[in-house]
Amino acid sequence: MSTTQLRFTDRLSQWFGQSPKEGMDALPVRVHGREFARTAAAPVSIRGFDQSLIWGMVVLLLWGLVMVYSASVALNDQASNSSWQAQFLLRHALSIVVGFVAALLVFQVSMDRWEKLAPWVFIASIVLLIAVLLPFIGKSVNGARRWIALGFTHFQPSELAKLGTLLYASNYMVRKMDVKEQFFAAVTPMAVAVAIVGSLLLAEPDMGAFMVIAVIAMGILFLGGVNARMFLLITGILVIAFVLMIALSPWRRERIFAYLDPFGADYALGKGYQLSHSLIAIGRGEIFGVGLGGSVEKLHWLPEAHTDFLLAVLGEEFGLVGVVAVIGVFMWLTRRIMLIGRQAIAMDRVFSGLVAQGVGIWIGFQAFINMGVNLGALPTKGLTLPLMSYGGSAILLNMVALAMVLRVDYENRLLMHGGRR
């Protein structure tokens, strides 16, 4: 076997939690009539990374793939070419494949390198947020200019902005660690950065993405050790800002009123239409659901059934049991990510730990908002369900972010076993 093949075999063995030369090391050696064998106390190689986290991702991705196909059947029947009647399934599967390849590449990059690249990723996201507002670059859909056309597909810069803000905030807290007790020195630059991103997102408009980015930045500031009084002050300012944005925008006010009474005569066929049909779908599912493929609401009744309201179709087809199962997987996934980040911080790897915990906040909070909207607990917002809803940009960036978490876990295990990153 060649040297290249041996290295490849060793790397695969490490990834799947096996010592690369475990078989050879276990062989006994006979010297002068006495037999010696390697003991369990001898140094071992890296035991891969958190496989349970990977299985959680796989469950959500595959379940999402099935639900996207089920929720989009009514859209597929409009295709004139029968070969494209599964176009949403094929596109979603392609997005997962591209995301997997990107995740593998991201995993190869050390967190020290990402720490150096963090400001540049943030700057790139701002440039793309500006570009999407230009008429000859950005594509407008339903009055919102959020996508950049790339020929056969589209890219949503707001998803990259979430990752860019996460990396920049983590890098910022490491650099400002010595002045984190001083309000203006510690908070002002980060507040300006979030304000720039927020103003560009509101110009699209995309208030949902701005909320997620603001929560990511606030969470990293809090976990990074910013003074509690300063944190409460910033939180109060953000809450007031969001209230003012809603109060000063007529169509946002209408959404709040529709949320309060979705079945009212004034809203049932207008702003409350999606929410009312989402509640009808979940209500039809009862305990065990009507069965996979048996949803009625996805047949041109519930808009965006394969994206923002995928959970409603899942609730109709799998019932309360299916919804609780999805919530449980997301809770477990978020908890596992936060524990990996805490372990990194305990090992004095502050940037890596904050990145991992920032991803946990991102996945957990966005899933919480999407579930709350589908269940009628929160006003309607255009946020997808991470790892499950249809959308190439969201799937790509979710998988890239989780690859970084796996890299953090891999480096944690490497250092615990006496290796070097």
Amino acid at 6: L
Round to whole Å and give the CA distance between 221 and 204: 26
Q: What is the pLDDT of residue 191?
A: 83
Element of type H or E holding 100: helix 87-107
54 strand-pairing partners: none
Rounded CA-CA distance 13/47 in Å is 9
How many Å from the N-terminal Cα to the C-terminal Cα in the chain?
27
pLDDT tens, residue order, the chain (421 aa): 555 555 545 554 554 444 444 444 444 545 455 544 444 443 334 456 788 899 999 999 999 999 999 998 887 665 545 455 578 889 999 999 999 999 999 999 999 999 999 999 999 999 999 999 888 887 877 777 888 888 777 889 999 999 999 999 999 888 877 766 666 666 778 888 888 998 898 888 888 899 999 999 989 988 887 777 777 877 888 888 888 888 887 878 888 888 888 888 777 777 888 888 899 999 999 999 999 988 898 888 888 888 889 999 999 999 999 999 999 999 999 999 999 999 999 998 999 999 999 999 999 999 999 999 999 888 888 789 999 999 889 999 999 999 999 999 999 988 887 766 5
pLDDT for res 268: 75
- CA distances 130 to 193, 207, 409, Å, are 14, 16, 35
| Residue found by looking up tokens 């908890």 in the block | 335
Q: Where along the chain do its domains lie? A: 1-45, 51-416
Whether the ω angle into residue 379 lies within 30 degrees of 0, i.e. cis, is: no
Give the single-character DSSP code of 81.
S
Here the tokens at position 92 are 């979603």
β-sheet bridge partners, residue 144: 141
The whole-number pLDDT of residue 33 equals 53
Tokens of 359: 């991803």
Angle separating helix axes 87-107 and 51-71, nearest 10 degrees: 160
| Strand ordering across the sheet containing 144-149 | 138-141, 144-149, 154-155
Whole-angstrom Cα distance, residue 396 to residue 330?
Answer: 18
Q: What confidence score (pLDDT) does residue 21 get?
A: 44
Question: What pLDDT, on the 0 to 100 scale, is given for residue 259?
Answer: 82
Strands (E), 202-299: none
Exposure letters 188-201 (e unless 16+ CB within 10 A, then b)? eebbebbeebbebb
